[in-house]
Amino acid sequence: MAITKTNFINYSRCPRYVALADLKKEKLKSMISLEEYRKEEEEEIIREVLGDMYDEAGNDLIDVRNEHLEVMMPYYGMVELLAGFLAPKYFSGTFKYSASTLAQESFDCVIDNIRYLCYVDIYNETDNAFNIIEAKATTTNKFLSLGVKDDGKFNSIFTKGSDGVYRLLEDAGLNVEDFMPLKKYEFNRSKLFNRFGEAGHYVYDLAVQRYILENDLKANGEVDKIPLIKYYLAVLNGDYVFDGKYEHGEPLYETDKNGNDIICFIDLTSVTKDYMDKIDLDRKRVAGYIDDLNGDEFPLGEYCEKKKTTCCKFCKVCWSKLPEINSIMAYLDGHHGFKDKEGRKYSRFELINDGYLSMLDVPESMLNREKNVIQRRVVETNKPYINVDKIRDGFKELKYPIYHLDFETFPCPLPRYKGEKCYTQSVFQFSLHIEREPGVCDKEKDHYGFLAPDHLDRREELVKLMCELIGDSGTVLVYNDSFEKTRLKELADIFPEYRNKLLKIRDNIFDLMNIVKTKTSLYESLGYDKKDAMMFNYYASSMNGSFSIKKILPIFSDLTYKGMEIGNGVEALVTYASFPKMDKLNFEHKYEKLVEYCKQDTWAMFVVLEGLKATVK
């Protein structure tokens, strides 16, 4: 049996993963030979499990096409090539890298009859050894943000050396205590060892690589090389600003005016060394799981990575025991856990694995947050919670005309236009409904907008039209204001000619979510005490622990996103990203659907506002 690095990372999640992966691969065989290795009563369980993996028509529900990933793949591939291109500036020797995995350097080892193998993104051969460089389409921010703020100054646990490479303070020969207390340094460093954490996720990957490589060298009698090898991550530079130069129509990522390259290298040699014993234990666990192939239910945990992009692909199977709506996961702030009468704290996972699956399974005595008590009551009675006074007072903040505004953006890993950074949320569409007087707005006649028809830099056209349409007085109503406010500030910095107007629009923003979910500072300024100001203003059972507009809209209308050809932000992004590949007919059709989707977003705000008004009239 052979296991790649990616399989190793998944197989080591839990014993059930290996068994389910095997069961899925062997679907037909498993169904035929069930009696051979399963007791009769287990047969039904396996059928149920397979039922969650395939629908009635036999369509695969686990390995579904990830269109989001597909449109991002060319950019991820470019990150690897840019890292390979820039590596000689930071390292000496020869380099081997390729967009094709098969052309990359590879290592493998056999331990207890299992073969482990990995490919190296950038193999850098030096005089007496080599460096391993893994390219990741993430940014330096995840690593450099590990640190401590002191007297307004932030000190990271990483520092940039004279060679331009980032390394831990201790590895750079610096006295850690000159930067932060040792305890805080160790606490932040320990996050690199949390394989399910933001930065730790990438470090674990590199450590598995190191483990396979070292065992390969040991098997080939090259043990003396081991201490000479260094391990790096190549990641996107969070400070890099694209200057807008192109060659043959493609962005030219030269060093920016502040001296930043688009890729940074982080030396994780000492961290991955400290990881080796842990990886060896994980390897033994994986070997045991493969031997046992035990597909029995396994406690749910952090390793499922539910709701993360790295979510285990079998969540559909294992998490199906939780009700789809109003499960324990719908309790707001539930990640802080729950306490029993004796003050013993339980995590959500502990409760789930003890059989507390729905909101109502959790005894009221364990609900220590008032908001959770209200949520429970709402679900029990199926009657919404409404704080009439707070909602009415929120309305008083609105001034007419109301400009209902929404942006669609493309968070491209590589900046595409002048002034953008890596993963800038590049605005390609805005939708605007103008409500000139209270309740007076027509879905079609009062709708305006802009949608970039291609991938050329259309930002100025978009900004110009938006500035012409939105007046200086009135309220600019958005849903979840930090997103729109940040985009407007970024555009103001890029287009000085429109700066004042864009900042004016930003100043006039009011967040409709404040009226639904509350905003403590707003309601405190309106005279509410802190406790009242913090409590949400509206909650209905169907919201399922979420204040997203898509959850709130159906409460006030029969409008729905279900059935729309483009029905969520990811589909919008994927459609825009695919424009250049579409033929004329398909493009025109998708363009229209995208306009329709964005129009629905701002119309939804008008409808929700009207609905709330009617509710507290």
- Give the interface with ligand SF4 as residue ranges (CB under 6 A): 13-14, 16-17, 20, 298, 300, 303-304, 312, 314-315, 318
Which one, 318 or 513, has the nearer CB to ligand SF4?
A: 318
User: Tokens representing 234?
Assistant: 């190549």
Beta carbon nearer to ligand SF4, 16 or 506: 16
Which are the contacts of 347, defined by CB distance < 8 A and separation ≥ 6? 337
Minimum distance from residue 301 beta carbon to ligand SF4 (Å)? 7
Nearer to ligand SF4, 25 or 149 (CB): 25
CB of 237 within 8 A of CB of 263? yes
Integer CA distances (angstroms), 83 to 105, 134, 229, 295, 520, in order? 16, 9, 19, 41, 45
Q: Shortest Cβ distance from residue 316 to ligand SF4 (Å)?
A: 8
Q: How far is the CB of 24 from ligand SF4 (least distance, A)?
A: 11
Q: Any long-range contacts for 319-326 (C-beta under 8 Å, 24+ apart)? A: 320/52, 321/357, 322/352, 322/357, 322/358, 323/357, 323/358, 325/541, 325/542, 325/544, 326/358, 326/359, 326/360, 326/379, 326/541, 326/544, 326/545
Beta bridge partners, 185, equal: none
CB 16 within 8 A of CB 295: yes
Could you tell me the smallest distance in angstroms from the CB atom of residue 357 to ligand SF4?
15
Q: What token pair was written down for 79?
A: 């990150």
CB atoms near residue 93 (< 10 Å):
14
Who contacts 321 (Cβ-Cβ below 8 Å, separation ≥6)?
357
Measured from the CB atom, the residue of 9 and 300 that comes closer to ligand SF4 is 300
Query: Tokens 């007419």 label which residue?
Result: 400
Q: In this structure, are residues 428 and 408 in contact, taking their beta carbons and an 8 Å threshold?
A: yes
Nearest-approach distance from CB 305 to ligand SF4, in angstroms: 8
Between residues 81 and 315, which has the closer beta carbon with respect to ligand SF4? 315
Structural tokens at position 456: 């050329």
Shortest Å, Cβ 19 to ligand SF4: 8
Pick from 510, 489, 511, 509: nearest CA to 500: 489
| Residues 572 and 594: beta-carbon distance below 8 Å | yes
Contact criterion met (CB below 8 Å) for 593 and 566: yes
CB 139 within 8 A of CB 411: no
Q: How far apart are CB 25 and ligand SF4 at their closest, in Å?
A: 14
Complex with ligand SF4: residue 24 or 487, whichever CB lies closer = 24
Q: How far apart are CA 251 and CA 416, in angstroms?
A: 7
* Closer to ligand SF4 by Cβ: residue 14 or 492: 14
Q: Minimum distance from CB of 335 to ligand SF4 (Å)?
A: 17
Place of tokens 């490589």: 213
Best CA proximity match to 611, nearest among 546, 563, 540: 540
At its nearest, how many Å lie between ligand SF4 and the CB of residue 47? 17
Which residue, 297 or 497, has its beta carbon nearer to ligand SF4?
297
Q: Which is nearer to ligand SF4, 302 or 610 (CB)?
A: 302
Closer to ligand SF4 by Cβ: residue 283 or 433 = 283
Measured between alpha carbons, how far is residue 149 from residues 180, 365, 564 in Å? 9, 38, 46
Q: Residues 50, 32: contact at Cβ < 8 Å?
A: no
CB of 118 to ligand SF4, least distance (A): 22
Partnered with residue 405 across adjacent β-strands are: 432
Of the pair 15, 251, the CB lying nearest ligand SF4 is at 15
| Closer to ligand SF4 by Cβ: residue 94 or 320 | 320
Instruction: State in angstroms the smallest separation of the CB of 296 from ligand SF4.
Output: 10
User: Smallest distance from the beta carbon of 11 to ligand SF4, in angstroms?
Assistant: 10
